[in-house]
Structure formats: structure tokens, C-alpha cells
């Protein structure tokens, strides 16, 4: 895991273990940056699952983010905590789009459990029905690097 200091002279970067823990535990939205067919930036707030190496996002096959990523496989992402002391992880990565329903189901279930706490609620059932019917895809993000910041480490 390559970690860069996102805020030199202002706080400190997270260690690799801190960054992994932040990504594993956080229920914050991941902001996914893509570029559209007009070469304009798009930002997509999403739920995600981190397995310790890769980041996974569920989305509709017909979503703008899926369309953008079919054209260009490089993305930018950011997960930041807006609670003082601020901290977060952002980075650049490449995306692989999975349409394999059988492999997408367990990943989508992990995302639903992380954010809704159960597979037995309206949101989880709606998303899982979409995944099971093949209307959704899983975006598998392989980060090239992580730029992190943790202002709780500021030296005043």
C-alpha cells in the first residue's frame, strides 16, 4: 500500500494500518471521480466495501459512473471524515467492471451489511434484487496510491 502525505506541514499521514482500519470501519460515502464523454468531471457519492487491498462499489449497469468507466478505467476517490479532527483517504486507481452475477452477490451483500446492518430491509432487498437480476455491476478499484491525512496528529 503506497501512502502519500495529503497535507504536508498540516497534520500527518496515516500509517498503513491506520489507513486500512479507516477504510475497513468507515461508513462514510466514497466520492468517486470520473470523466464523462464531454471530458468533464463527475463526482459520484457511493457506498463501498474495502477488503484490505481493493475497493468495491455496486452500481446500476446504466449508471453514469459505469458508463464513464467503460470509456476510461482511471478514477479518483476520496473518503473523508468531516468531524474534527479531520482525516481521510483519497487516491487514484484503475477499475475493472464485473458483470458476473455469482461473484457480485457476495460483494454486494457485504456492502449492504456494512451500511444497512442487514439484508432484510427495503434498501438492501432492492439493491440485492438488482444485483441478482444482472441489472447491477460491481466496480473493482485497484488503488495506485493512497494520500492520507489525520489532523489529530497535528503538532501545535
pLDDT confidence of residue 106: 98
Name the helix (H) or strand (E) containing 17: helix 16-25
User: What SS3 class is residue 26?
Assistant: coil
Secondary structure of 58-97 as H, E, C letters: EEECCCHHHHHHHHCCEEEEEEEECCCCCEEEEEEEEEEE
> Terminus-to-terminus CA distance in the chain, angstroms?
29
For the chain, 156 residues long, the average pLDDT of each consecutive 10-residue run is 73 86 94 96 97 96 95 95 90 97 98 97 97 97 92 71
Q: Nearest Cα to 112, choosing from 47, 44, 26? A: 47
**Domains in the chain, please, with CATH?**
3-153 (2.30.110.10)
- What one-character DSSP code corresponds to residue 153? G
pLDDT at position 152? 82
How far is residue 4's CA from residue 79's CA, in Å, rounded to a whole number? Answer: 15
Give the DSSP H or E segment for 132: helix 122-132
Give the model's pLDDT for residue 125. 97
Distance from the Cα of residue 127 to its chain's centroid: 17
Angle at 1 between CA 147 and CA 52, to 5 degrees: 105
Give the pLDDT confidence score for residue 122 in this predicted structure: 97
Q: What is the pTM (predicted TM-score) of this model? A: 0.92
pLDDT recorded at residue 91: 95
Sole residue written with cell 488503488: 143
Amino acid at each position: 500500500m503506497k501512502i502519500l502525505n495529503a497535507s504536508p506541514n498540516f497534520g500527518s499521514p496515516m500509517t498503513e494500518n491506520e489507513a486500512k482500519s479507516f477504510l475497513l470501519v468507515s461508513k462514510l460515502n466514497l466520492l468517486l471521480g470520473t470523466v464523462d464523454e464531454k471530458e468533464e468531471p463527475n463526482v459520484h457519492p457511493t457506498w463501498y466495501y474495502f477488503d484490505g487491498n481493493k475497493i468495491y462499489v455496486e452500481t446500476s449497469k446504466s449508471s453514469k459512473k459505469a458508463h464513464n468507466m467503460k470509456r476510461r478505467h482511471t478514477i479518483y476517490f476520496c473518503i473523508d471524515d468531516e468531524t474534527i479532527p479531520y482525516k481521510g483517504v483519497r487516491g487514484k486507481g484503475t477499475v475493472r467492471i464485473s458483470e458476473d452475477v455469482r461473484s457480485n452477490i457476495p460483494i454486494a451483500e457485504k456492502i449492504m451489511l456494512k451500511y444497512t446492518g442487514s439484508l432484510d430491509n427495503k434498501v438492501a432487498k432492492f439493491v440485492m434484487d438488482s444485483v441478482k437480476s444482472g441489472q447491477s455491476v460491481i466496480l473493482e478499484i485497484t488503488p495506485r496510491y493512497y494520500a492520507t491525512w489525520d489532523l489529530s496528529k497535528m503538532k501545535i
